[in-house]
Amino acid sequence: MARGPAIKAKISPPRLGGKDKVGLYSTRTPHRPNNIGLSLVRLEKVEGRNVYFLGADLIDMTPILDLKPYIPYADIADGDVKFPDWIMNPPAAPFATVTVSDEATARLEDYVLKRLKLYKGDSCATVLQLIKDVLIHDIRSGHQKGAAKDTTYELYLDNMKIEWVAHGDVASVESIHIASTNDIEKNPK
């Protein structure tokens, strides 16, 4: 019997500081072993064990596996929405700032920007802001945060390979390149 790679059923969400693990289906992780869709719907009412909602584009008898609350900073909805108070108190960003070297910026402008796929046509400033918005939240796993100082980390975004270092409360982007096929095969996620 052919078997695929083992599935990690538990993950360490960044908001838990990498200390606790939870089931991957209880989170919004995009790293799922199957094609489960996430849809934003309006809760109409709850009657006993039945939940009624509006705005779903489903085929009849499509199973609904889980319900999660609306999160204003991650979801976009039209009109008035209600959500739990605790959602609006996210932890402070772990890094105070993200810096990008002049060399990385020049490489992005001169070479990488023209070869992007998802952000093709966007300005250098827009792509740099995207990189900063991701890195400010310190996306390293709990065990990576305990690594030796001056460890170079890699972030794959669009088809870019971004190399960066953590220095205290600053994330410093040192280089930006187009990710090669070997990079992607070596680091599929």
- How much is the pLDDT for 91? 64
Q: Is the pLDDT of residue 161 over 70?
A: yes
**For the segment 91-124, what is each residue's pLDDT rounded down to a tens digit?**
666 889 999 999 999 999 988 888 988 888 899 9
Q: Cα–chain-centroid distance for residue 44?
A: 29
* Exposed e or buried b per residue across 16-30, where buried means at least 16 C-beta atoms within 10 angstroms of its C-beta: eebeeeeebeebeee
Shortest CA distance to 116 belongs to which of 159, 173, 54? 159
The set of long-range contacts for 119-126, using a CB threshold of 8 Å and a minimum separation of 24, is: 119/158
CATH of the domain spanning 97-186: 3.30.2310
Q: Is the pLDDT of residue 171 over 70?
A: yes
The confidence band for 172, taking pLDDT boundaries of 50, 70 and 90, is: very high
Domain map (residue ranges) of the chain: 97-186
How far is the C-alpha of 142 from the C-alpha of 149, rounded, in Å?
14
- How much is the pLDDT for 189? 47
**Most confident by average pLDDT, 32-36, 85-89, 159-163:** 159-163
Q: Is the pLDDT of residue 184 over 70?
A: no
The residue written with tokens 């052919």 in the block is: 2
137-155 average pLDDT score: 83
- 13 class by beta-carbon count within 10 Å (0-12 exposed, 13-18 middle, 19+ buried): middle
- 162 class by beta-carbon count within 10 Å (0-12 exposed, 13-18 middle, 19+ buried): buried
Higher pLDDT, 34 or 45: 45
Q: Is the pLDDT of residue 164 over 90?
A: yes
pTM of the model: 0.58
Q: Is the pLDDT of residue 186 over 90?
A: no
Q: Is the pLDDT of residue 129 over 90?
A: yes
**Are 159 and 179 contacting, i.e. CB atoms less than 8 angstroms apart?**
yes
For residue 102 the two structure tokens come to 């002049």
Q: What angle do CA 44, 49, 55 make, to 5 degrees?
A: 25
Higher pLDDT, 175 or 35: 175
For residue 70 the two structure tokens come to 């609306």
8-23 average pLDDT score: 75
